[in-house]
Amino acid sequence: MAGWDRAGSVFAYCFILTLCLLGGYEGLERDQNGYVMYCPCMGRFGNQADHFLGALGFAKGLNRTLVLPPWVEYKPGNPRSIQVPFNTYFKVEPLTKFHRVVLMHQFMEELGSTVWPQEERIAFCYVPRHNSEGCNAKEGNPFGPFWDTFGVDFVGSEFYRGLTYDVHYQNMADKWSDLYPPSKWPVLAFTGAPASFPVQENNRGLHKYLEWSDAVLNKAKKFINSLPYGHYIGIHLRNGVDWVRACEHVHHSPNLFAAPQCLGYRNEHGKATTELCLPSFSTIVKKLKRVVKATGAASVFVASDSDHLIPELSKELRKMKVSVHKHEPADPHVDLAILGRSKHYIGNCVSSFSAFAKRERDAAGFPSSFWAFPLEKEKSAKQSASATRHIEL
């Protein structure tokens, strides 16, 4: 996917200018209540989407317009992140049903120099970063490339120690407004997302305002139409090497990454297990067969960052006359849109990528479940050892 390059900027500028001349467009009006701006500088798509919902809730709580940041992507071998305009993947209009938003490039082109003059560009962070006295908002990748995309340099730092992003909590929104009134601070520009990870429970429902762009949706629909006639089940297999390594820490992190989506935010439904994070092939086959049987599905769609297990799953489901498919070329957003539209979805509870499809389906009232959940008690090492001895006897 192409980034926000020079040709794109020139084209957009000409397009907006033509609209102004033909349609009497008078440009963006300044929001006197101010703006929230941030760099989605942590993680990949799943993490950024969690943060986006939090930032949307935060901007609403503060009654400031949310500046929609581009999505930050990384290409192997490229030392600088690529910034993909927000509306490449999502429509802007549905978000406005919840709150005021503006695309970042539009804000910078039309209001950047007046609302947020260069000499007033202050970076917000909780505490100083990188052993320095300031936010160092442009230090490292993707921080520098992100702000460079819009020609932003900061002249100072502001630490908001003592304040949190939880505007659902007591009078936190008032505290922000008292300390940073929009008349004096028209733009709160955050070094990272003003949101927690994983997404706070209160903000999960905001997902209903995230609708795929036509470009993503059309690719997903084309693929769905190519599947055999009948229902399909969508499954997410997160099994790349980064994930295998991450799952090794599951016992020390009982609510790792997105795990609260099934375990509860206070581990009400148990602690993360290895099977929950990295389900074995037998766990996958057992659950998949059960769901296929219950729904009468004709096919299975597999989304994966690494091994789709197509031959292995096809073999297991042959007797049930169910075929197994993946989308090519690999495209994370199209994969998610296809998962979001299946008859039933089985995701990985720990993965924030999986969590995106679960939230989209929850908003639409579609059913989903997770690998290895509800939890079965994992055998302790002692029990397994004694079981092995027993078999040997």
Interacting residues with ligand GFB (CB under 6 A)? 43-47, 236, 238, 242-243, 246, 257-258, 303-305, 330-332, 335, 351-353
Closest CA to 276 of 288, 265, 263, 267: 263
Q: In a 10 Å sphere around its CB, with 0-12 CB exposed, 13-18 middle and 19+ buried, how is residue 189 labelled?
A: buried
Q: Indicate the residue among 106 and 360 with the shorter CB distance to ligand GFB.
A: 360
Q: Indicate the residue among 236 and 325 with the shorter CB distance to ligand GFB.
A: 236
Q: Indicate the residue among 24 and 329 with the shorter CB distance to ligand GFB.
A: 329
Q: Indicate the residue among 64 and 308 with the shorter CB distance to ligand GFB.
A: 308
Q: How far is CA 101 from CA 192, 244, 283, 310, in A?
A: 18, 38, 43, 41
In the bound complex, what is the minimum distance in angstroms from residue 354's beta carbon to ligand GFB? 7
Q: Indicate the residue among 180 and 257 with the shorter CB distance to ligand GFB.
A: 257
Strands (E) in the chain, as ranges, are 35-38, 65-68, 71-73, 82-84, 101-103, 122-125, 156-159, 187-190, 232-237, 299-304, 323-325, 344-347, 368-370
In the bound complex, what is the minimum distance in angstroms from residue 329's beta carbon to ligand GFB? 9
In the bound complex, what is the minimum distance in angstroms from residue 42's beta carbon to ligand GFB? 7
Interhelix angle 352-364/45-62, nearest 10 degrees: 60
CA atoms of 337 and 371, how far apart (whole Å): 20
In the bound complex, what is the minimum distance in angstroms from residue 129's beta carbon to ligand GFB? 19
In the bound complex, what is the minimum distance in angstroms from residue 141's beta carbon to ligand GFB? 15
Q: Which residue is nearest to ligand GFB (CB)?
A: 46
Q: Indicate the residue among 177 and 348 with the shorter CB distance to ligand GFB.
A: 348
Instruction: Say if CB 83 and CB 3 are below 8 A apart.
Output: yes
In the bound complex, what is the minimum distance in angstroms from residue 355's beta carbon to ligand GFB? 7
CA atoms of 293 and 303, how far apart (whole Å): 20
